[in-house]
Amino acid sequence: MLIDFFKQKHECHHTKVPVDVEEAYCPDCGELIKNSWFLVRCCCCNIKRNAHCEYNQIKPNSKYCPNCGSTDYYIEELDNINFVDIHYAVFKQIIIPQKHFTMRQVWIEKEENLLPLKNLLISKAPS
Ligand SMILES: [Zn+2]
Ligand SMILES: [Zn+2]
């Protein structure tokens, strides 16, 4: 059931979005993708927990904090990733909702004086 659900969505994995930029448009689906890093920390003792991303949800790898035994954790978004955090941080690509203006693909054919640049400026229709 769950597998069918994911298949039906034809989810784009945005594999062509470079990870070394803050955000970029995915060439496969056209969404604006933000590259984000998250840390999972224990609510009780504040240590960094090893974590992973499961079905788009960030979760600690273990149920209990190895330091204090607490199950409570919080997720912190990082502005910048550094080498200290890279072993703990979870990488996730987030789709930034776009304001789709109701613009349609219209080719303004004005006989011969159509500049090639004008073609590039015409926006694509929202899918
Ligand atoms: Zn995509
Ligand atoms: Zn703890």
- d(Cα 25, Cα 124) in Å, to the nearest integer? 14
Q: Does residue 116 lie within any of the structural domains?
A: no
The verdict on residue 93 lying in a domain is yes
Q: Distance, CA 20 to ligand 1 centroid (Å)?
A: 16
| Nearest listed ligand to the Cα of residue 43 | 2
**Vertex 95 angle, CA 37 and 71, to 5°:** 45
34 C-alpha vs ligand 1 centroid, how far in Å?
11
62-88: burial string, b at 16+ Cβ within 10 Å, e else: eeebeeeeeeebeeeeeeeeeeeeeeb
Q: Going by C-beta distance under 8 Å and a sequence separation of 6 or more, which residues neighbour residue 72?
A: 42, 43, 44
Ligand 2 centroid to Cα of residue 46, in Å, is 6
Q: In angstroms, what is the span from residue 116 Cα to ligand 1's centroid?
A: 28
Q: Which residues surround ligand 2, an ion (CB under 5 A)?
A: 42, 44-45, 65, 67-68, 70
Output 123 or 21, whichever has higher pLDDT: 21
Considering every ligand atom, which ligand is closest to the CA of 66?
Answer: 2
User: 35 lies in a domain?
Assistant: yes
pTM over 0.85: no
pLDDT, position 116: 54
- The ligand whose atoms approach the alpha carbon of 73 most closely is 2
Range of the domain at 76: 2-99
Q: What is the largest CA-CA distance in the chain?
A: 74
State pLDDT tens for residues 40-99: 999 999 999 999 998 889 999 999 999 999 999 999 999 888 888 888 999 999 999 977
Task: Identify the DSSP state of 33.
Answer: E
CA distance 74 to 51: 11
125 within domain boundaries: no
Burial of 33 (0-12, 13-18, 19+ CB in 10 A): buried
Total domains present in the chain: 1
In a domain, 79, yes or no: yes
